[in-house]
C-alpha cells in the first residue's frame, strides 16, 4: 500500500502547555497571589477585622496609621477617621462591597457583550443592524451621565450600581466580539462548514465560543480593575454607595475634608485600589503573552 510522505513543518503549542506556561510566569503568580490575599481578606472580613467598622471612638479620632505619629498604635493599624472608626476594619468591609460590585458588573458586561456580539456577527444583516443601533445609542451616552440620572431617580444600592456599570460597559465588548466574528466568518473554513450543512448555531458553538472567551480573558481581568475604580469614583462623589454602607470609595469620600491633616483616610483605600489595578494589569499582560489566542 502506498503511503504519502508526511513532513512535519513546525510544532504547535498544544493547549495544555499554554495554561501551564501561565503559571510559570512569575509576574502572574505574584499578582495573582496578591489579589487572592486581598479577596480572602475581604471574604473573611468579619473574622479578621480588629474592630467593627461602625464602631466609633471619639477619643481616638484622627489617629494616624502605624509608625506615622506618636498617637499611633497597633490598635489602629491604618489609623482612624473623624469619628474614630478603625480604617483598617472599614477597608476590609469596604473591599467586600467594592469587589462584589466589580465582579458582578464584569459578569454583566461580558455576559451581555459577548452574547450580543456573537449573535450580531453570525446572524447577519437585520439582527446585526438592530443590535448595532442599540450599541451606538448606548455608547453615545457617557457612563457618568447615565449614572447620575439613574441614581437620582432611584436610591443607589449595590444592585443598582452594579446594573448601571454593567449596562454602560457591554457595548464596547459587543463591538469587539462582533468584529472578531465578522473577520473569521469570511474565512474558508467557515464556508467549508456551511457546505457541510452546519447551522450558524453550530458554527458559533464549535468555532467561536472557546476562542472568543479565551481572547477576552485578558480584558475581563482589566475590566475588573476598571469597575473597582468606577465604583470608587461614584461613591467618592456621593452618587454611589451611600452610608451606612461602606465601600472603598465611601471611605475615600469620608476623608475628603481631612486631606491635609488626616491624609490616611483617603490615601490608604486609594492605595488598595492602586495595588488591585496594578496586579490585574500585570495578570492581563501575562495572559496576553502566554495565551496568544
Partner 1 sequence: MNRILLEARRINVVRQEPGGAEKKLIDDLSFSLDRGQTLGIVGESGSGKSILVSAIMHILPRTCMLKSGKIFFEGEDLYQIPKDRLNTIRGFQIAMISDNPLEILDPICTVEKQVRETIMAHNPGLSKEAVIEKGLSIFKSLRMPDPEKMMHSYPYQLSGGMKQRVAIALALCGDVKLLIADDATRSLDVTVAAQIVEILRKMKQDNQLSLIWISNSLPVCSLLAERIMIMYRGKILEIGPKETILRSPRHFYTQKMLQVTPKSEGFDRDQKFRGFRVKAGAAAQRTEGGCEFAAICDHAGDRCSASTPELKQVGEGHHCRCHFV
Partner 2 sequence: MSANDIILDIQDLYKDYQLPRKNIFGKPSYVHAVQGITIQLERGLIYGLVGESGCGKTTLAKMIAGVEMPTRGGIRFDAEHLIKCDTTGRQRENSRRVQLILQDAYAALPPKRTVEQILNEPLEIHGLGNAAERRKKIEATLETVQLPLSVLSRYHHELSAGVTQKINITRALLLDVELILADESISSLDPISRIEIMNLFLKLNAQHNLTIVFIAHDISTVQFLCDKVIVMYLGVCVEYADNPEIFVNSMHPYTQALMNAVPTLEKGLTGEPLYVLEGEVPSPTEMLPGCNFYSRCTHPARDEQCRTRKPALAEKRSGHLVNCFKV
Residue 221 CA to residue 217 CA, distance in Å, equals: 7
Q: Coil, helix or strand for 231?
A: helix
Contact status: 10 vs partner 2 (CB under 8 A): yes
The answer to whether the CB of 30 falls within 8 A of the CB of 37 is no
Comparing CB distances to partner 2, the nearer of 9 and 26 is: 9
> Which of 140, 197, 244, 261 is close enough to bind partner 2 by CB under 8 A?
197
Stretch that binds partner 2, among 10-18, 29-37, 88-96, 108-116 (CB under 8 A): 10-18
Residue from 124, 127, 261, 114 nearest 175 by CA:
114
| Chain-centre distance for alpha carbon 130 | 28
Residue 260 CA to residue 257 CA, distance in Å, equals: 8
* Minimum CB–partner distance for residue 3 and partner 1 (Å): 5
Torsion of CA 63, 67, 69, 73, to 10 degrees: 40
Contact status: 187 vs partner 2 (CB under 8 A): yes
Q: Within positions 199 to 218, which residues make up the interface with partner 2, using CB under 8 A?
A: 199-200, 202, 206-207
Max distance between CA atoms of the chain, in angstroms, equals 94
Cis ω before 244 (30° cut-off from 0): yes
* Minimum CB–partner distance for residue 180 and partner 1 (Å): 23
Contact status: 192 vs partner 2 (CB under 8 A): yes
Work out what residue 34 binds among partner 2, partner 1, none; the CB cut-off runs from 5 to 8 Å by kind: none
For partner 2, the binding residues (CB under 8 A) are 1-12, 15, 123-124, 187-189, 191-200, 202, 206-207
For partner 1, the binding residues (CB under 8 A) are 2-9, 11
Amino acid at each position: 500500500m502506498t503511503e504519502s510522505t508526511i513532513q512535519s513543518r513546525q510544532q504547535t503549542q498544544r493547549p495544555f502547555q499554554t495554561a501551564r506556561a501561565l503559571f510559570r510566569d512569575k509576574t502572574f503568580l505574584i499578582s495573582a497571589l496578591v489579589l487572592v490575599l486581598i479577596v480572602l481578606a475581604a471574604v473573611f472580613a468579619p473574622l479578621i477585622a480588629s474592630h467593627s467598622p461602625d464602631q466609633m471612638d471619639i477619643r481616638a479620632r484622627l489617629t494616624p496609621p502605624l509608625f506615622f505619629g506618636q498617637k499611633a498604635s497597633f490598635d489602629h493599624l491604618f489609623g482612624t477617621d473623624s469619628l474614630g472608626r478603625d480604617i483598617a476594619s472599614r477597608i476590609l468591609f469596604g473591599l467586600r462591597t467594592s469587589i462584589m460590585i466589580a465582579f458582578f458588573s464584569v459578569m454583566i458586561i461580558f455576559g451581555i457583550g459577548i452574547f450580543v456580539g456573537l449573535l450580531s456577527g453570525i446572524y447577519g444583516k437585520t439582527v446585526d443592524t438592530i443590535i448595532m443601533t442599540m450599541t451606538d445609542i448606548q455608547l453615545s451616552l457617557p457612563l457618568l451621565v447615565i449614572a447620575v440620572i439613574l441614581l437620582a431617580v432611584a436610591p443607589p444600592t449595590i444592585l443598582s450600581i452594579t446594573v448601571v456599570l454593567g449596562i454602560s460597559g457591554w457595548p464596547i465588548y459587543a463591538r469587539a466580539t462582533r468584529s472578531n466574528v465578522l473577520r473569521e466568518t469570511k474565512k474558508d473554513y467557515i464556508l467549508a462548514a456551511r457546505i457541510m450543512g452546519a447551522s450558524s448555531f453550530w458554527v458559533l458553538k464549535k468555532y467561536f465560543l472557546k476562542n472568543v472567551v479565551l481572547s477576552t480573558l485578558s480584558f475581563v481581568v482589566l475590566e475588573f480593575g476598571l469597575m473597582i475604580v468606577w465604583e470608587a469614583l461614584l461613591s467618592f462623589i456621593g452618587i454611589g454607595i451611600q452610608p451606612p454602607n461602606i465601600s472603598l470609595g465611601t471611605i475615600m469620600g469620608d476623608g475628603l475634608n481631612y486631606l491635609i491633616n488626616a491624609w490616611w483616610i483617603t490615601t490608604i483605600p486609594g492605595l488598595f485600589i492602586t495595588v488591585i489595578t496594578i496586579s490585574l494589569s500585570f495578570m492581563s499582560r501575562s495572559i496576553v503573552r502566554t495565551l496568544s489566542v
